[in-house]
Amino acid sequence: MLEDSEADADLIRHELDRAGLNTLTKRVDSDETFASAVRDFAPDVVLSDHTLGQFHSRVAQQILRDLRPTAPFIIVTGSISGAQSVAAIRAGAEDLVLKANLGRLSASIDEALAVRRPLHKLTGRQVEVLTLVAEGHRTREIAKRLRLSVKTVESHRGEIMKRLKMHDVVSLVRYAMRVGLVTAAIPE
């Protein structure tokens, strides 16, 4: 839980308990403690406020994508503008829940985990290959970047399609975007 207010963190924990979710939480409030927690605590889900002093949810999303790409990122915030909401979702946030409506949080977590469940069928290397395919890299580029043979990359891509039950690259790209492995281009 990336949250700078202990009181808000307690409210979120209370809502998770009320919803019957069996949780173990760790609250952090800076980029350093967040990166450390993602590495060491290895969360299944990240709940994050949108803005925490000098730290912002977009930076947190990038850290999570780099260190634990299978974990969903859900923004739980007091207020956020429409443009900020769109930018957060495009950057890979699974959902956005207002603190005034925490009753939605349990359903949001359940849905986020269900969408990502197929990712757990993939190896770490396959997640890397999926990400690079979804970013638009060609097979030869992926092979060179990962120091693999072209044949091995093709084998990984075939196994990814089989495990995710998808039959074309477009479906892989859509799924990778849906789970936040890659992001939609965001105009500045």
Residue 17 has pLDDT above 50, yes or no: yes
What is the pLDDT confidence band of residue 184, given thresholds at 50, 70 and 90? low
For helices 6-18 and 105-116, give the axis angle rounded to 10 degrees: 80
The residue that leads in pLDDT, 82 or 118, is 118
User: What is the CATH number that goes with domain 122-178?
Assistant: 1.10.10.10
pLDDT, average across residues 145-159: 96
Cα distance between residue 171 and residue 80, in whole Å: 31
Spatial CB neighbours of 156, under 8 Å, sequence gap ≥ 6: 125, 126, 129, 148
- Specify the CATH number for 6-116; select among 3.40.50.2300, 1.10.730.10, 3.10.20.30, 3.90.1150.10: 3.40.50.2300
pLDDT, average across residues 141-157: 96
Residue 186 has pLDDT above 70, yes or no: no
Residues of the chain with CATH 1.10.10.10: 122-178
Residue 118 has pLDDT above 60, yes or no: yes
Residue-wise pLDDT for 43-58, tens only, equals: 999 999 887 777 788 8
Cα distance between residue 137 and residue 186, in whole Å: 19
Residue-wise pLDDT for 45-101, tens only, equals: 999 988 777 778 888 888 998 888 889 999 998 888 888 888 888 877 889 999 999
Phi, psi of 56 (to 5 degrees): -130, 150
What pLDDT shows up at residue 90?
Answer: 80
What pLDDT shows up at residue 188?
Answer: 44
Q: How many residues does the chain have?
A: 188
What is the pLDDT confidence band of residue 108, given thresholds at 50, 70 and 90? very high
Mean pLDDT across the chain: 89
Q: What is the pTM of this model?
A: 0.84
Residue 171 Cα distances to 16, 114, 143, 178, angstroms: 33, 17, 21, 10
Pick from 89, 63, 65: nearest CA to 77: 89
Residues of the chain with CATH 3.40.50.2300: 6-116
Spatial CB neighbours of 39, under 8 Å, sequence gap ≥ 6: 67
